Structure 1
Amino acid sequence: MRAIKKINNNVAICLDSNNKELIAFGKGIGFSQMPYEILDLSIISMTFYRIDNRFYKLIEEIPENVFEVAALIVHKAQIILKCSLNPNLVVGLADHINFAMIRMKKYKKMKMVFSYDIEQLYPKETELGRYAVKLIREKLFVSLPESEITSIAMHLVNAEEENEPITDGTDTEVLISEVVDKIEEFFSLTIDRSDFNYNRFAMHLRYYLKRIKEKKQFMDDNVIIVQAMKEKNPKVYECASMIGNYIDKKLQEESTEDELLYLMIHINRIINNRAIED
């Protein structure tokens, strides 16, 4: 195995004996000078194939210890769920955990609700969510709220397929593009569509559309949280409501308040990201 690029001290991009690219985890794997022609396989603890290279920059931005915990969670999920998982799950989950930790520090009083509906529908994924929250507490010394069990479970549910979710093929991508156009127009800004932040937002929208089409929307009692975010970020609430109504009309469905909450969180995130220029 050959290491071709360091991501951090314990993660590197490698090529296997068939010249297939993979992400390799191992203590000190990144200390060697790159490219490193012969890699000591004994130091590799986990490997992940087919991670979209659009997310390599995101991997570099996520704290090393957070990424390692996400990798352990995904490894456990592969054993328990025994099904194909989206190869980008480890990146998306690491990004979510990092964001959840930051969000908790900024909104200490905000408590999202644990979903008993999700627990009934997806018991294995919920148990993995509990394992993840426990692991985060032990490894990262952060006690995430119980609601994160649900959020992590849904990341796993969404990843239980070979590719990213597709609802109506090209129509879905057109709808996502239209949504981003509306956000740009509403806030008078430009979103860099080649950046990983756009791809992260687009992925959320694909899952959002998938849940609506399959009638599996989030349906918990987070009305108080929606109201709190509305008061704190009225423009974001107005934009999210506009986007939700637009999607509802397109799909002839009705988004729940909880979906609106998640849409607000993601819109707020993308408009405050460095990848966006006024």
Structure 2
Amino acid sequence: MGRKMYKVLRPFNHNVVLCTKDNKECILIGKGIGFGIKSGDSIINVNNIEKEFFLVDNYNREKFQNLSNIVDENIIGITEEAIASISKKLHKELNEKIHITLPDHIGFALKRLESGIEIKNVLLHEIKFLYKGEFEAAQEVWETINNGLNVNLPEDEIGFIAMHIHASINNQDVSKSSIDTSIISDMITFIEENINIDLNKESLEYCRMLTHLRFALERSRNKINIKNILIESIKENYKETYDLASKLADMVYKDYNVKFPEGEIGYLTIHIQNILSSKNT
């Protein structure tokens, strides 16, 4: 990495240090780089630095400073180690907001745990399927937090952490990523209630439908209208199922202001019909 000098602002643990370099704040991660140092020291030997994150945005830098004053430094330190691991595992650069949102979330999760308050993640299965890479990375973060801080965060937290990772990769707010998962969950509930079937969430048909719903939402938001050359045949051969898919689309438009075009409704009809057919075989 060459010979650089970092001025220490504060160490968070033995492996994570907040520094300045060329008047820019950065977070350094590396084995033992924080051992025995204090604010005002310089880090000249960079051989042990494995990752550096710069906080470029003034707002994010201020938020991180405020967060570091209210969240235990051990939580910030181990979360920053986890963020470096996420970036390495997924081979992706993460939006710098994750340095605020993830330690903030972990801090609150640990407070809830201490108070005996448990929040169930009703979308855990959907998140695990829709965001496989993020979920696997989140599982490692969850294990790192539990082992490193000697706590026992519930498995539901893996899903919440995965949404933070997904949002960071896609430069979204966590609320935006979470709302998509909520829409999909509401759609699944609507289908189950209207066909009077508890869907087998391990089935191939269910997994295919989840995938379609995820990308259908993206296409609809981006005004991408895919052509469905079989639409008239679908309407004719699967009239009841098409009517159900149309009602589902109306619900999504009414509740979330996302409008599915006719072609998407046709493909959704096929997915629902496949589930119905699999139940009859």
TM-score by length of 2: 0.54
2:114 corresponding residue in structure 1:
105
State the distance in 2 between where 1:75 and 1:38 align.
19
Matched residue type, 2:132: P
Q: Which residue in the other structure is 1:95 paired with?
A: 104
Q: 1:91 to 1:218 in 2, by over 3 A?
A: farther
Aligned to 2:35: 28
After superposition, the C-alpha distances for 1:202-221 in whole angstroms (9 at most, x for unaligned) are: xxxx5325654xx4437669
Secondary structure of residue in 2 paired with 1:86: coil
Q: Shift of the alpha carbon at 1:120?
A: 0.8
1:116 is aligned to 125
CA-based RMSD of the aligned residues comes to 3.0
C-alpha contact 1:2 1:15 (8 A) present in aligned 2: yes
Partner of 2:140: 131
For 1:45 and 1:95, the matched residues in 2 are separated by 23
Matching residue of 1:46: 51
Q: Distance in 2 between matches of 1:42 and 1:84?
A: 22
For 2:182, the equivalent position in structure 1 comes to: 217
Q: 1:219 to 1:147 in 2, by over 3 A?
A: farther
Aligned-residue offset at 1:160: 0.6
Deviation at 1:147, TM superposition (A): 0.5
Q: 1:144 and 1:60 mapped to 2: Cα distance? A: 23
Q: Does 1:5 align with 2:23?
A: no
Q: Any residues of structure 2 matched to 1:52-67 within 5 Å, and which? A: 52-54=60-62, 55-67=64-76
Q: Please, what TM-score do these two structures have when normalized by structure 1?
A: 0.55
What is the match of residue 179 of structure 1?
none
Q: Distance in 2 between matches of 1:108 and 1:67?
A: 22
Compared CA separation, residues 253 and 150, structure 1 to 2 (3 A): farther
Match of 1:207 in 2: 174
Q: Deviations over 1:126-177 (max 9, x none)?
A: 111211121112111111111001000001001013x4x3xxxxxxxxxxxx
One-letter code of the match for 1:40? N
**What is the rounded CA distance, in whole Å, between the counterparts of 2:42 and 2:254 in structure 1?**
54
Aligned ranges for residues 65-214 of structure 1 at < 5 Å?
65-108=74-117, 110-113=119-122, 115-161=124-170, 163=171, 165=172, 206-209=173-176, 211-212=178-179
Distance 1:30 1:134, change over 3 A: same
The one-letter code sitting in structure 2 at the alignment partner of 1:50 is L
State the secondary structure of the residue aligned to 2:95: coil
- Whole-angstrom distance in 2 between the partners of 1:20 and 1:115: 38
1:114–1:146: 8 Å Cα contact kept in structure 2? no
Q: What is the 5 A alignment of 1:228-247?
A: none
Deviation (angstroms), 1:88: 2.4
1 CA distance for matches of 2:118 and 2:61?
Answer: 37
CA contact (8 A) 2:12 2:77 kept: no
Deviation at 1:86, TM superposition (A): 0.6
1:82-105 alpha-carbon deviations (Å, 9 max, x no partner): 223111213321111111011122
Q: Which residue of 2 aligns with 1:15?
A: 21
The answer on whether the counterparts of 1:8 and 1:60 sit within 8 Å (CA) in structure 2 is no
Which structure is richer in relative contact order (CA contacts within 8 A, separation 6 or more)? 1
Distance 1:210 1:156, change over 3 A: closer
Asked if the contact 2:163/2:177 (under 8 Å) is kept, the reply is no
How many residues are paired up? 178
Specify the structure having the higher radius of gyration (Cα). Answer: 2
Deviation of 1:113 (Å): 3.8
Conservation of the 8 A alpha-carbon contact between 1:12 and 1:23: yes
Question: Counterpart of 1:12 in 2: which secondary structure?
Answer: strand
Is the 8 Å Cα contact of residues 14 and 22 (structure 1) preserved in structure 2?
yes
